[in-house]
Amino acid sequence: MTRFLWPLAIFLALVGFLAVGLNLNPREVPSPLIDKPAPQFSLPVLHKPDMTLSRDDLMGQVWLLNVWASWCVSCRQEHPLLVELAKAGVVPIYGLNYKDDRSAGLKWLNEHGDPYTASIMDADGRIGIEYGVYGVPETFVIDKQGVIRHKHIGPITPQALQEKLLPMVRELNAS
Amino acid sequence: MLRKFVAAVLAVLIHLPGNAAEAVPASDDPVLEERVMAVGHLLRCLVCQNQTIADSHAELAVDLKNEIREMMRAGKTDQEIIDFMVARYGDFVLYKPQVKSTTWLLWFGPGVLLVLGLGTLFVKLRRRAAQIQAAELTPEQKRQAYSLLEQADGGDGK
């Protein structure tokens, strides 16, 4: 009897693997930068282009680096969440305005609200490459020592915020 | 009307090959461009995951090709450039995965399965061969068999 059940068991195992595979998101590629120092940058600030902001200016605090652009459609999806998060003042959010036009970026923030403590301009996408950015929006959680602790790819969902990002920020702030 | 339609179809057809071509080289040094494309063919475009950055027109792929070009101009070797990409985008950026402990299953799994399957088949066939014993018929049995066959032939004819 068992010899007839074997093929069924193997088939069910295959179905199981396929079901898991179908529910994984192929866009979410684990970043090799987790637990590595955040790449250095020194970029002009969106609102004050003659000022620059560098990674070292942000040391000593837990902060989020949110990669956004005015041309990015799914950035609109997560934006209200970021605005709300900024209002709550739990964690400073810095924006990396990725491959964008300055006036378009400023206009976009005027229309949708500006959750960023500051946005820096990565006009040619160079710093994006350093951070391994491939799908805007992306959000990095960076600790007090300037180490990347988490990367969220794609728009932040309320669930990801409550279950992953905020607990992480709390934990890093406590340490 | 029909003429217009034919013209439109032709126009589309004429433009198809142009769109399918590889990205236009951005410098006039053919040796360098060839190297850029060669390395580009080893790297995955993370935006359009089943294309290499050499084949892709995605903005990220164009940026990365520019990055490769500049690194080559700065005298970096192909391996250094590939390491640079892996450090930022992870192993997934390699179109051909490396052979290392975490990818052994990927590289050798199919081979192992094939060997296991062939082994099982071989063992089964051997066992079955052992079970079948060659049974010689006695002359008496042979005669019986022939008469049975003949009877059957006669039955068919009716």
Instruction: Say yes or no to pLDDT of A116 above 60.
Output: yes
In a 10 Å sphere around its CB, with 0-12 CB exposed, 13-18 middle and 19+ buried, how is residue B66 labelled? middle
Verify that B38 and B94 share a domain, yes or no: yes
Subunit contact A135:B64, Cβ cutoff 8 A = no
Contacts of A168 (CB under 8 A, 6+ apart): A141, A149, A150
pLDDT in tens, chain B (158 residues): 566 666 666 555 555 444 444 455 566 788 899 999 999 999 998 888 789 999 998 889 999 999 999 999 999 999 999 999 999 998 889 988 888 888 899 899 999 999 999 999 999 999 988 888 777 788 898 899 889 998 877 655 44
Contacts with A129 from chain B: Cβ below 8 Å: 63-64, 67, 88
The span from the CA of A104 to the CA of A60, in Å, is 32
Tokens coding A19 = 């079901």
Tokens coding B11 = 């126009």
Contacts with B64 from chain A: Cβ below 8 Å: 129
Contacts of B80 (CB under 8 A, 6+ apart): B71
Give all domains of chain A, ordered by start, each with its CATH number. 32-174 (3.40.30.10)
- Write out pLDDT tens, residues A141-154: 999 999 999 999 99
Verify that B57 and B114 share a domain, yes or no: no
Strand pairing category for A42-44 and A52-54? antiparallel
Verify that B8 and B75 share a domain, yes or no: yes
The span from the CA of B18 to the CA of B6, in Å, is 20
Verify that B111 and B92 share a domain, yes or no: no
Subunit contact A132:B89, Cβ cutoff 8 A = yes
Verify that B125 and B148 share a domain, yes or no: yes
Tokens coding A9 = 């068991």
Subunit contact A30:B67, Cβ cutoff 8 A = no
Sheet holding A118-122, edge to edge: A118-122, A93-98, A63-68, A138-142, A148-153
Subunit contact A29:B47, Cβ cutoff 8 A = no
Verify that B82 and B14 share a domain, yes or no: yes
Q: Are B106 and B97 in contact (CB under 8 A)?
A: yes
Domain extent for B111? 102-157
Verify that B78 and B134 share a domain, yes or no: no
Report yes or no: A129 at the B interface, CB cutoff 8 Å: yes
Report yes or no: A31 at the B interface, CB cutoff 8 Å: yes
Closest CA to A153 of A135, A171, A141, A170: A135
Subunit contact B47:A130, Cβ cutoff 8 A = no
Verify that B113 and B89 share a domain, yes or no: no
DSSP tag of B44: B
Closest CA to B82 of B33, B26, B90: B90
Subunit contact B89:A32, Cβ cutoff 8 A = yes
ipTM of this complex:
0.81
Neighbours of A31 (CB within 10 A): 22
Verify that B152 and B83 share a domain, yes or no: no
Verify that B92 and B138 share a domain, yes or no: no
Last residue of a domain, one of B98, B115, B141: B98
Which A-chain residues 38-97 have CB contacts (< 8 A) with chain B?
A: none
Verify that B48 and B113 share a domain, yes or no: no
Indicate which of B46, B88, B93, B94 best probes the interface with A, i.e. most A CBs within 10 Å of its own CB.
B88
DSSP assignment of B58-126 equals SHHHHHHHHHHHHHHHTT--HHHHHHHHHHHH-GGGBSS---SGGGHHHHHHHHHHHHHHHHHHHHHHH
Verify that B58 and B93 share a domain, yes or no: yes
DSSP tag of B49: T
Q: What is the pTM of this model?
A: 0.74
Tally of domains in chain B:
2
